[in-house]
């Protein structure tokens, strides 16, 4: 059964359009209260990133929850993984995050955590959608929910982050540039690294409601690269607007993406015999990651794109480490969801214990050249039942042999077919991707 409102990570859209309207979000709060709360669990936490629209949606959710007879606690600007953590520790029925993650300020969204700090399963999201279609009924006045603000939420989360590495680990002597994307970690990430002893240069940490993710953060680390070189820093840390994606930069300004960070953490844990299983990536994870892990005897599996699918496969195999190229790094032995600060600390711990630089510890993985082409399609194209396209893919795979791979994937949000080819030979990879893209375009033209 398809979902009407929920996407792969909650509900998201442009503010003032479609679902991202105050009346819908009020009804959403009411529905959450009706589905997830009970007499013995009657508390919901609400956190948000730094978008200007967060104030409006925070009030709407608060009103909806109150109408359902549910108490709420406001956390203010707070990273998504912080809401997951606080939901568990405060024994709340659910946690709500008002955020559109890495999107621009004019988008916003609402995503949810269950009482155990994990993303909601599809079945619960369907229950919420069914409740949204019911008429809103307000409880009697003496049963309305109450609202309070938790003023020490940031401090609690800072202490949690620090607790995810041993107390003997200190970052003294490290100079780190931290890019907070003008987002939810602006008052948290710099303090975490500073309190652990690092010299911190903070950039993109002055949110104004409109500048979140603007030319900064994990999706655009150019400013971070420049700052690392300018300040002669040891490394840089880039976080996205809601704090669940991590990209790092080495001392020479080279970007270290999610695949490379997964490799760094996995091989170190394997060496210490604390990996406990394999590693989960996605269909988009670089083939170089898979081959590098194989050299260390580490099993690797690919999930569908999206951190919730990575999590599902990790739980299916009882593995503790997984992530995406985009920087979602999930360490289930530390927390319950992707957490940029926690993931960065795992990498920094390895630097401290080995005495090596970030550039040195990632050198065991060689990323394969990758070409990605987005081919517009006016209507939904079934690529599996298009013989010419499938033949083009087979020809490319034969040409690459064991030194590369081909992936065709319809976009879940746009009328596009994504063509991805990777291999050891960059010119060949580009040529093969272009050939497949042209075949898709020809097939689309022939069907018009």
Catalytic residue positions, numbered: 101
Q: Which two tokens stand for residue 384?
A: 């599996």
Residues, the chain: 448
- Phi, psi for 248 (deg, rounded to 5): -120, 165
Q: Which two tokens stand for residue 325?
A: 């190229």
Short-list 266, 346, 336, CA closest to 300: 266
Q: Where are the alpha helices (DSSP H) in 217-257?
A: 222-230
How far is Cα of residue 284 from the mean position of the Cα atoms in its chain?
A: 14
Asked if 3 and 12 touch (Cβ cutoff 8 Å), the reply is no
Tokens 């590369």 belong to residue? 404
Alpha-carbon distance of 261 to 396, in angstroms, equals 29
Q: In what order do the strands lie in the sheet with 321-323?
A: 300-303, 279-282, 321-323, 329-331
Short-list 148, 136, 147, CA closest to 68: 136
How is 151-195 classified by DSSP, letter by letter? TTHHHHHHHHHHHTS-TT---TT-EEEEE-TTSTTTTTHHHHHHH
Q: How many CB atoms lie within 10 A of CB 148?
A: 10
DSSP-derived letter for residue 399 is: H
Q: Which residues pair with 290 in a beta bridge?
A: none
Short-list 424, 409, 414, 102, CA closest to 286: 424
Sign of CA dihedral 275, 349, 243, 42: positive
Alpha-carbon distance of 286 to 291, in angstroms, equals 9
Asked if 240 and 233 touch (Cβ cutoff 8 Å), the reply is no
- Strands 94-98, 43-48: parallel, antiparallel or unpaired by DSSP? parallel
Alpha-carbon distance of 422 to 283, in angstroms, equals 12
Alpha-carbon distance of 331 to 321, in angstroms, equals 5
Tokens 């170089």 belong to residue? 288
Alpha-carbon distance of 119 to 127, in angstroms, equals 14
């Amino acid at each position: 059964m398809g979902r009407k409102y929920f996407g792969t990570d909650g509900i998201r859209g442009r503010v003032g359009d479609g679902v991202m309207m105050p009346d819908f979000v009020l009804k959403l709060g009411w529905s959450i209260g009706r589905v997830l709360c009970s007499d013995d669990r009657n508390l919901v936490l609400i956190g948000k990133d730094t978008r200007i629209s967060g104030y409006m949606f925070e009030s709407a959710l608060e009103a909806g929850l109150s109408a359902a007879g549910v108490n709420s606690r406001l956390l203010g600007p707070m990273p998504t993984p912080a809401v997951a953590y606080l939901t568990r520790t405060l024994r709340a029925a659910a946690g709500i995050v008002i955020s559109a993650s890495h999107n621009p300020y004019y988008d916003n969204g609402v995503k949810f955590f269950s009482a155990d700090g994990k993303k909601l399963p599809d079945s619960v999201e369907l229950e919420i959608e069914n409740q949204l279609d019911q008429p809103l009924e307000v409880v009697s006045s003496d049963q309305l929910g109450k609202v309070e603000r938790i003023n020490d939420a940031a401090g609690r989360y800072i202490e949690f982050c620090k607790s995810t590495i041993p107390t003997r680990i200190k970052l003294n002597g490290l100079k780190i540039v931290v890019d907070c994307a003008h987002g939810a970690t602006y008052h948290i990430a710099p303090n975490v690294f500073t309190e652990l002893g690092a010299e911190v240069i903070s950039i993109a940490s002055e949110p104004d409601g409109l500048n979140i993710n603007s030319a900064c953060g994990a999706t655009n680390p150019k400013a971070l690269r420049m700052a690392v070189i300018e300040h002669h820093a040891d490394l840089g840390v880039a976080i996205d607007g809601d704090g669940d994606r991590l990209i790092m930069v080495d001392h020479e300004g080279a970007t270290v993406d999610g695949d490379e960070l997964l490799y760094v953490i996995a091989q170190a844990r394997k060496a210490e015999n604390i990996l406990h299983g394999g590693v989960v990536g996605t269909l988009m994870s670089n083939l170089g990651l898979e081959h590098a892990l194989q050299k260390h005897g580490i099993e690797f599996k690919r999930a569908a794109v999206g951190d919730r699918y990575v999590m599902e496969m990790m739980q299916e195999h009882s593995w503790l480490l997984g992530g995406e190229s985009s920087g979602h790094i999930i360490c289930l032995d530390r927390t319950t969801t992707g957490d940029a600060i926690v993931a960065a600390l795992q990498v920094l711990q390895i630097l401290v214990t080995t005495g090596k630089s970030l550039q040195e510890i990632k050198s065991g993985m060689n990323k394969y050249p990758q070409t990605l082409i987005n081919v517009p399609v006016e209507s939904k194209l079934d690529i599996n039942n298009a013989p010419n396209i499938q033949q083009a893919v087979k020809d490319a795979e034969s040409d690459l042999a064991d030194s590369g791979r081909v992936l065709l994937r319809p976009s879940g949000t746009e009328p596009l077919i994504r063509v991805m080819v990777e291999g050891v030979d960059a010119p060949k990879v580009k040529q093969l991707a272009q050939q497949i893209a042209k075949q898709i375009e020809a097939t689309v033209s022939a069907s018009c």
